[in-house]
Structure 1
Amino acid sequence: MTFLEDRDLEDVPTIPEYYKGKTIFITGGTGFMGKVLLEKLLYSCTDLDRIYLLMRPKKGVNPENRLAALYNLPCYDRLRNERPGAFESKVFFVAGDCSELGLGLSDEDRTLIVNRTNIIFHVAASVRFDDPLIVSTKLNLRGTREIIELAKDTRNLECLVHVSTTYSNTNRDPIEEILYPPLADWRETLEICEKIDDRTVNILTSKYLGEMPNTYVFTKQLAEHVVYEQKGKLPIVIIRPSVALDTVNKLYIAVI
């Protein structure tokens, strides 16, 4: 029997039933995966309480205006037509930045999140393959550590979902649903990127990455271990989606 076939699911709530009344905190809600997640939650689980998006100013646009622009994207056409008012009444932003210590949250917003949140989706990531190691490390690695610290303080946390990538182990064939040994010590990597100057780190990057092709997959692999260390301490899930394509802001997910 498979895992699901062997389970008694009679008393397990449906997905909409589970999300009813829940408060959700999402990082990366304006990115490829985040847009799809947000739309699906609002469309299929309309009885959820509310969703907080971590948002930073970008290119001179403040979070409030970015939130309005987000809802105007074509991928929310279905939501606007069939669930009018759901976005406006249930989605709120908190100002912050995953690349900053403490996620850049104010004390007031941090208190709000730790007191109200039931589910955390950590989706934010630097997905550029050519980002300098320091940039990728701050967002993908340190940002994950800061999410873990927030989760530890969250009073009614039911689940922390960390979105990794199937390409975090490109040096493996096949890639199985297991956690592979870390490519480096994530704490040491953070210390290097925080204390050594940019020029030196850039010179050493190719040697430091070893057989990994770029800083994205390298830092995402290490970030899995930041999360995995909390096994048995926090209710955590690591997922590894594969390809996400953004075509005129209409998102398509290909799981291969």
Structure 2
Amino acid sequence: MDHFKNLTEIQRFYRDSTVFLTGGTGFIGKLILEKVLRSLPVKKVYLLVRAKKNVTPATRLSEIFNSPAFDILKKTYPEVLNKVYLLVGDCSNLGLGLSPEDRKTFVTEMNVIIHCAATTRFDQHIQQATFTNIRGTRDLLSLAKEVKNLKTFVYIGTAFSNSQYREIDEKIYEPRISAEKLIEVCENLDPAILDVIGAKLVEGWPNTYTFTKQITEDLINRECQHLPFCIVRPTIVVSTAFEPVEGYVDNVFTLAGFAMLNALGINRIIYYNKITLDIVPADFVVNQCLAAGWQCGSRFTASNPNQALVFNISSGRDNPISQDRVYDVCEYYLRQVPSSTVPVFPCTFRTTCWYNYLLSRFLFHTLVAYCIDIISRIKGRKPSFVEKVKKLHHFQEMYQFFTTNEFYFHVENTHRLLKRMSYSDRAIFNFDMTTLDWHTYFIQYSKGFRVYLLKDPMSTLPEGRRHFKKLEVQFYLIVALLVIVAYVLGKIALFRVIPTIFSLMGFHLRMC
């Protein structure tokens, strides 16, 4: 704690605290862990980590610290890594899968709880989504009620948990079914029967993830009235803007996934609407989570219970950016830092017409995949491209809800939180969207995409540019060849085939 001097108000609130963090192996979880260790004078941090066969807890911890997110911390304050401990458990298991000894440690030592863990797969079965997202939170709440000195409890949800509405306030909405009833149904019914029931329950939501997140919010609101509890709801989380490094991302199941598919030339067609794309940098989300935990805990009084504080984390009102501009700048800057790992020249088209999308998808994806698989069979290789294209289309369809619908998120609580923070705290825990320049952001985004997702360092940029130029030449040669072939075939059809057909039709009519 020697490097902490002149503590700010937020830092004083977290001083000497023991933090319990779930989801520490995920993208946001790793960033929260790094920020807590780097910017807060905490005593300990306990991570809830699932057990793995043939992998010791120490190995799992070292895997987390091997992330590039911790490079700066290991160079500047490596000693703080010794504050981190593992608790073996699983949010999908009853009681979080904690041993009696670990439960005792939890109750006696924890001061701050940050619940980040969730199954974020959009196509997750309703049963698994319920067990992890709802029942896991219920069991964590039960433990939190036993904690002797709980300062704050931060729950990380999603701004799309109430996506059946187009205007979303910072409040808890009434669920279609209670958490208790849904857990009971999922624990007692066969998964095949749940498929039918789940489809009916999730109607109005894009997936089981957002649906179960809304039910969890209602559970929290009913159970946490005597706990210092807050809910933060980020919109579409993208790579970091500033810290711990610019442009850091390690998760492809978001906008980065689309950018990667486009940059690699795998995806050729996008179906979307001309809307504002509500994106927020991951480090802004982390900073607001810690600031929200401070406000919630510092203002809480057990004698005056109330509803959980809710914070929408959104750029749509303070710093909007259109979906067209996001795609344009991504495409432009990714071409400035091309990777030598790109297999084909990237050329992606966008359409707001569903039928154009289906036709283009068939021509540029499905038809090409079948041709490649036929060639593979001729060469004696196992065909695989058709299956890969099916997975690509499934990935696109899962995210189309977010690229075709626009929402208005209220952020009044977020604005009030910013106003309450001191100048020093706002410098350390910045989440003010008005301070973000999207032009500069996407320059770093493209570099981070190349380095952290494609694992291609910037030192290979000259090689990448030469490779990209070759792909470009090949692409335009193929396009020119296809145009010539189409022209020749068109002329043959126009001057040979069609006249012959009409001649035959005339001959047939004369004979009749």
Considering Cα pairs closer than 8 Å and 6+ residues apart, tell me whether 1 or 2 has the greater RCO: 1
| 1:48 paired residue number | 42
| 1:6 paired residue number | none
| 2:51 paired residue number | 57
| 1:130 paired residue number | 123
| 2:83 paired residue number | 90
Do residues 205 (structure 1) and 198 (structure 2) align? yes
Offset of residue 230 of structure 1: 2.5
Amino acid at match of 1:77: D
Contact (CA 8 Å) 1:137, 1:219: kept in 2 or not? yes
Deviations 1:119-159 (A, max 9, x none): 11111100000000001000000001011001011111111
| 1:176 paired residue number | 169
**Partner Cα distance (1:59, 1:128) in 2:** 23
Offset of residue 178 of structure 1: 1.0
Offset of residue 196 of structure 1: 0.1
| 1:18 paired residue number | 13
Deviations 1:178-226 (A, max 9, x none): 1111121211111110000011101222112121111000000000111
CA-based RMSD of the aligned residues comes to 1.9
**Partner Cα distance (1:68, 1:205) in 2:** 39
Contact (CA 8 Å) 2:27, 2:249: kept in 1 or not? no
Amino acid at match of 2:191: D
Amino acid at match of 1:143: G
TM-score for the superposition, normalised by structure 1: 0.89
Query: Equivalent residues in 2 for 1:100-111 (5 A)?
Result: 100-111=93-104
Deviations 1:73-122 (A, max 9, x none): 001112112212211x1100011111111111111111011101101111
Greater strand share, 1 or 2? 1
| 2:64 paired residue number | 70
Aligned length: 243
Relative distance call for 1:132 and 1:234 in structure 2 (3 A) is same
Relative distance call for 1:60 and 1:133 in structure 2 (3 A) is farther
Amino acid at match of 1:228: N
Identity of aligned residues (%): 39
Do residues 249 (structure 1) and 244 (structure 2) align? no
Relative distance call for 1:176 and 1:218 in structure 2 (3 A) is same
Contact (CA 8 Å) 1:183, 1:221: kept in 2 or not? no
Deviations 1:51-77 (A, max 9, x none): 000111247534321111100100111
**Partner Cα distance (1:171, 1:62) in 2:** 43
**Partner Cα distance (1:231, 1:86) in 2:** 32
Contact (CA 8 Å) 1:25, 1:52: kept in 2 or not? yes
Report the secondary structure of 2:113's partner residue. strand
Do residues 157 (structure 1) and 150 (structure 2) align? yes
Offset of residue 13 of structure 1: 5.8
Offset of residue 17 of structure 1: 1.5
Amino acid at match of 2:64: L
Do residues 36 (structure 1) and 31 (structure 2) align? yes
Report the secondary structure of 1:85's partner residue. helix
Contact (CA 8 Å) 2:178, 2:219: kept in 1 or not? no
Amino acid at match of 2:102: D
Amino acid at match of 2:138: R
Query: Equivalent residues in 2 for 1:134-153 (5 A)?
Result: 134-153=127-146
| 2:225 paired residue number | 232
| 2:351 paired residue number | none
- Between 1:237-246 and 1:133-142, the stretch displaced more is 237-246
**Partner Cα distance (2:238, 2:24) in 1:** 16
Report the secondary structure of 1:54's partner residue. strand
Greater helix share, 1 or 2? 2
Report the secondary structure of 2:167's partner residue. coil
Report the secondary structure of 1:134's partner residue. helix
**Partner Cα distance (1:249, 1:63) in 2:** 22
Relative distance call for 1:248 and 1:142 in structure 2 (3 A) is same
Consecutive unaligned residues in structure 2, runs of 5 or more: 1-6, 240-247, 257-280, 285-313, 316-512
Consecutive unaligned residues in structure 1, runs of 5 or more: 1-11
TM-score for the superposition, normalised by structure 2: 0.46
Amino acid at match of 1:36: L
